[in-house]
Amino acid sequence: MHHVIGKVAATATLLVFAAPTWWFVVLSAAAPRTSDNGVFLSVAAAVADGAPLYVDVVDNKDPLFFYALAGALKFGPGAAQLLDVVWLLLAAVGSLLLASSVTKPIPALFVGFVATPLVILGIDYQPGMTNLPGTSLTLLGMGLLVSRAWWAAGVVLALSVAAKITVAPIAVGVLVAALLVPHMRPRAIRSLAVFLISLSLMAVGLWAVGSLGGYLAVLSDNFRYSGDVMVYFGLSPDFLGHLERLNPDMRSDRWVSGGSILVIAFAALALWRFRSERLTVLVVWLWMTILGTFAALALSYVWPHHWQMVALPAVMALVVASGLGMRVLGDGRSGSVVSVVVALALTLPLGGWIPIQRLPGTFHTERAEWTQWRSQLADRTLESRLLETVPLPTFTVARLGTNDDAAFLLDLPPSASLTCPRFHLYDFSPAVDFGEALACLDRADVVIVTDQFLTFQNGWRSANVAPVVALLAEQYSCLRVEDRQVCSRR
């Protein structure tokens, strides 16, 4: 009887914590249509309409990120803008499976469905960005591997690479580390084979739709991009430049998150005598995610939201700490209670919820913005309304702007078709991108031009922008509305 009462009390407590946590998830996951999110939605809208990715529409993110977003758009823009709820759910399931291998069911549920989403939301979370899919799928792949679902683990880890290429070293490292553990070696060998086959099949799929060459070009451009941006900011185009770029962004909450991860990682080594075979695997994977994430930061950190990749080792540290609590105190009721308490307590430092008032403050902010987010679902972009005024039965359109498009391809008029694959440029974009834009204007009947693009005339790429602006002035007549112009060929 006491056992039943205990389980009911534990389940009720879990629900009390989980319900507001997932309401917080939904509020936080609502991505806007502005900035980079608008670009992502525009690319996904084009892909959903049948445009070959990296051919008819181009952005430098990985294929699964856009295909998932395009799939969500089939259920409406709101579903696509809330796609992060799905990614966070997959992260929760992954950490649940990982925690289940070293703790009891109730503590594992707390780790997965309460602590994990709160940790992820605390680490510079911005909805709709690209790090979360890679983090979630990597966690799920590891969880499936420890759960003996070796074939699913191989597929999911391959998908993590297709969603975020920077997790590739971690995904490979997870499988290689598993090969070194005797009790996991057979399933790790099979999972590695499935991983490689899955990557090959995905490459064949991209080739079949004509996107493989474009994606390989994007990967090459990304290596160049990170160096170009460092030079743009006056830094060296190497890991020292990226670390120098990171340094001023290291607020106290970031130091707390990073420091907490390392304290747990070293504590796991200091308490090595308490290890089990399963916990040993998780400790090795924790260090693998730490080293892989540090390498990714050192080679690619440019913008503050890139810090989101730290969520992967943070969740792994959470799982390891819960497992250590269970090993030190035993797997009885006291061990389970301590494991839950440890998971909930570590949510604050691992998630960077410092000071603690930041957590309820963020919740109230997200709740206040929810109504505004819902109202914008019915809004139509200025650019789409401008294109509707073009008095042509059908026409081709190009766009000269930055990440200020507000998802204009979501409601592109049926009479218009995008003719230039790259519709967003930046002052630090490669010179070749401006050359391609100039050449592409020959095919455009109408051009949307934003004021942000015109500011580049006085920037780093002024010599590349000048010919584009000159061609517009020579061949197009423009009508200004607010901060952009719609230009029709004379």
Give the alpha-carbon dihedral of 81, 82, 83, 88, to 10 degrees.
140
What's the burial of 273, exposed, middle or buried (CB within 10 Å: 0-12/13-18/19+)?
exposed
**34 CB contacts (<8 Å, ≥6 apart)?**
404, 406
CA atoms within 13 A on the CB side of 262: 9
Only one residue has tokens 């925690």, namely 99
What's the burial of 92, exposed, middle or buried (CB within 10 Å: 0-12/13-18/19+)?
buried
End-to-end CA distance of the chain: 85
Only one residue has tokens 């185009």, namely 237
- Per residue of the chain (490 residues), what is the pLDDT tens digit? 556 666 777 778 888 899 999 999 999 999 998 889 999 999 999 999 999 999 999 999 999 999 999 999 999 999 999 999 999 999 999 999 999 999 988 899 999 999 999 999 999 999 999 999 999 999 999 999 999 899 999 999 999 999 999 999 999 999 999 998 888 999 999 999 999 999 999 999 999 999 999 999 999 988 888 888 888 889 998 889 999 999 999 999 999 999 999 999 999 998 877 778 889 999 999 999 999 999 999 999 999 999 999 999 999 999 999 998 877 776 667 767 888 888 899 999 999 999 999 999 999 999 888 888 887 887 888 899 999 999 999 999 999 999 998 889 998 999 999 999 999 999 889 889 999 999 999 999 999 999 999 999 998 889 999 999 999 999 999 999 999 999 999 8
Other beta carbons within 10 angstroms of residue 19's beta carbon come to 11
Whether 143 and 111 have beta carbons less than 8 Å apart is answered as no
At residue 1, the pLDDT reads 53
* Pairwise CA distance, residues 294 & 131, whole Å: 14
* Pairwise CA distance, residues 178 & 283, whole Å: 12
Other beta carbons within 10 angstroms of residue 20's beta carbon come to 11
At residue 326, the pLDDT reads 79
Whether 265 and 314 have beta carbons less than 8 Å apart is answered as no
* Pairwise CA distance, residues 460 & 433, whole Å: 14
